[in-house]
Amino acid sequence: MIAAAARIPEWAPHPDVWLLLGALAASYAIAVLRVGPRFAAPGRAPVTRSQLVCFALGIAAVWVATDWPVHDVAEQSMYSVHMVQHLLLSMIAVPLLLLGTPAWLARWLLRPPSLAFRALRRLSRFLPALIVFNVVLVLTHWPALVNESLRSGVVHFAVHALVVVTSVLVWMPVLSPLPEIPRLVPPTRAAYLFLQSIVPTVPASFLTFGAAPLYKFYVGVPHLWGLSSLEDQQVAGLIMKIGAGMLLWMLIAVIFFRWAAEEDRRNQPTRSARAFDRELSELRG
Whole-number CA gyration radius for the chain:
23
220: left (phi over 0), alpha (psi -120 to 50) or beta: left
In a domain, 260, yes or no: yes
In a domain, 164, yes or no: yes
pLDDT of residue 158: 94
pLDDT of residue 172: 96
| Distance, CA of 143 to chain centre | 23
The C-alpha angle 150, 248, 158, rounded to 5 degrees, equals: 25
Cα separation, 126 vs 170, whole angstroms: 9
pLDDT of residue 264: 80
In a domain, 89, yes or no: yes
Helices 153-175, 186-198: inter-axial angle, 10-degree rounding: 150
**Structural domain for 213, as ranges:** 5-279
In a domain, 285, yes or no: no
The C-alpha angle 85, 88, 182, rounded to 5 degrees, equals: 140
pLDDT tens, per residue, the chain with 285 residues: 444 556 888 999 999 999 999 999 999 999 999 999 998 878 889 999 999 999 999 999 999 999 999 999 999 899 999 999 999 999 999 999 999 999 999 999 999 999 999 999 999 999 999 899 888 988 998 999 999 999 998 999 999 999 999 999 999 999 999 999 999 999 999 999 999 888 788 788 888 888 899 999 999 888 888 899 999 999 999 999 888 889 999 999 999 998 888 888 887 765 554 554 565 465 555
Number of domains in the chain: 1
In a domain, 141, yes or no: yes
Cα separation, 187 vs 69, whole angstroms: 40
Cα separation, 62 vs 83, whole angstroms: 14
pLDDT of residue 5: 59
In a domain, 230, yes or no: yes
One-letter amino acid at 5 equals A
pLDDT of residue 277: 56
In a domain, 57, yes or no: yes
pLDDT of residue 284: 57
Cα separation, 37 vs 262, whole angstroms: 32
pLDDT of residue 97: 98
Q: pTM of this prediction?
A: 0.88
pLDDT of residue 275: 53
Identify the sign of the CA torsion 27, 140, 125, 197.
negative
In a domain, 82, yes or no: yes
pLDDT of residue 276: 46
Task: Select from 4, 53, 8, 11 the least CA-distant residue to 28.
Answer: 53
